[in-house]
Amino acid sequence: MPRLSGFRTALLTLVALVGLSSAAIADSGTVTLTIYKGGWIIGASGGGGTLTFRGRRYPLSVGGLDYGLVFGGSKTVLRGRVSHINRPSDVAGVYGAAGAGLAIGGGARAIVLTNQKGAVLELAGRQYGLMANADLSGLAITMK
């Protein structure tokens, strides 16, 4: 019996090490996005940005829809970090969020989003314009 217990311990240790090593492979980068948004009940957003990953820059396109209380138009400039990516294309995907905000002239904005590949965006910046929202929104990021 002790021999079987030692085998189980070794197997569990190996599985844990493999899990830790694949998590350790994931890397992070920086992201800058400029998003233009407008709407009345249903809103749309679009824009672009840049991913900097392992010393290289990759252009991004951003688009999305909002549904709920949406009124006005705004420009938002966000900067931050993307984590849990192995390659630049991991940042591409659909990010969903529920949120509320009000910008008259200018206001601060911060958000944390996750896509279906596990990439996590932590962004903060400024929103300019006249925008009131309490909505569900989806943001799609694609590589150019």
Give the tens place of pLDDT for each residue, 86-113.
999 999 999 876 555 666 667 777 788 8
Q: Where are the alpha helices (DSSP H) in the chain?
A: 2-25
For residue 105, the enclosing domain spans 26-143
CATH number, domain at 48? 2.40.128
Question: Does residue 84 fall inside a structural domain?
Answer: yes
| Tokens representing residue 27 in the block | 């890397």
Predicted pLDDT at 99: 56
Judge whether 18 lies within some domain: no
Q: What is the pLDDT of residues 16-63, one digit of tens each?
A: 554 444 445 689 999 999 999 888 878 888 999 999 999 999 999 999
Q: How many domains does the chain have?
A: 1
**DSSP β-bridge partners for residue 56:** 53
Residue 71 lies in a domain: yes
Instruction: Write down the residue that tokens 């800058």 correspond to.
Output: 32
Q: Please, which pLDDT band fits residue 136 given cuts at 50, 70 and 90?
A: low
Sheet holding 56-85, edge to edge: 27-53, 56-85, 120-143, 93-114
Domain-embedded: residue 14: no
